[in-house]
């Protein structure tokens, strides 16, 4: 018995490259992953654009029921459609990076998408989501009086600007996904 590591069997005739110990997903699994990723990111972007445009409708709502319904719709879209879509986009992006040739840092455009995704998901989870829930509570209690509540009005303005910024960032992520600038950072 020798003191060194055991000799690994050689894989002759195989041209498949393995980076590290991680296994790659099959082509059909990758297509399904792409379907999930594109669908969830499309839903996410659509929700963010809707949240940026929804206040246009709200400017005409001055009744208690109107203010409440607007805030309820905003909250519902944010919590029950946008948040799951953003998390599924994050999860499928993680699987893409771990189990395909794309990786995390191989291309600059992927690094950009990770930064944008993590920034939006973290700020949405830790700050914007709780703020939107607070706005719904204020609208539920105060109805049309919410329009005179400083916290409600300030939160509404922050929500509009966050939706506009997130729309721009996500549209930028779509752009870099299509045009793929900053290719192959490892070759530089």
- Say if residues 134 and 74 touch (Cβ distance below 8 Å): no
- Say if residues 85 and 40 touch (Cβ distance below 8 Å): yes
pLDDT tens digits for 89-101? 999 999 999 999 8
pLDDT tens digits for 9-55? 444 444 444 445 568 999 999 999 999 999 999 999 999 999 999 99
Looking at the chain, the whole-number percentage of residues with pLDDT higher than 90 is: 71
Look at residues 78, 70, 63 and name the one whose alpha carbon lies nearest to residue 162. Answer: 78
Structure-block tokens of residue 96: 């893409």
- How many Cβ atoms from other residues are within 10 Å of residue 20's Cβ? 5
Give CA torsion, residues 64, 66, 71, 77, to 10 deg: 160
Look at residues 39, 89, 64, 52 and name the one whose alpha carbon lies nearest to residue 163. Answer: 52
The helix/strand/coil state of 121 is helix
pLDDT tens digits for 69-128? 999 999 999 999 999 999 999 999 999 999 998 888 888 899 999 999 999 999 999 999
pLDDT number for residue 82:
98
Q: Note the helical H segments in 16-107.
A: 27-58, 64-76, 83-99
């Amino acid at each position: 018995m020798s003191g060194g590591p055991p000799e690994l069997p050689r894989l002759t005739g195989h041209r498949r490259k393995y980076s590290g110990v991680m296994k790659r997903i099959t082509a059909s699994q990758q297509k399904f992953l792409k379907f999930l990723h594109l669908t969830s990111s499309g839903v996410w972007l659509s929700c963010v654009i809707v949240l940026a445009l929804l206040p246009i409708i709200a400017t005409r709502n001055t009744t208690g029921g109107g203010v409440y319904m607007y805030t309820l719709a905003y909250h519902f879209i944010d919590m029950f459609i946008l948040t799951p879509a953003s998390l599924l986009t994050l999860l499928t992006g993680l699987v893409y990076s771990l189990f395909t040739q794309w990786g995390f840092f191989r291309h600059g455009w992927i690094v950009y998408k990770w930064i944008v995704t993590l920034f939006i998901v973290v700020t949405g989870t830790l700050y914007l989501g709780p703020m939107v829930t607070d706005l719904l509570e204020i609208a539920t209690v105060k109805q049309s009086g919410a329009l005179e509540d400083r916290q409600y009005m300030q939160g509404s303005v922050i929500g509009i600007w966050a939706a506009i910024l997130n729309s721009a960032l996500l549209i930028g992520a779509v752009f870099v996904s299509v045009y793929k600038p900053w290719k192959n950072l490892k070759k530089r």
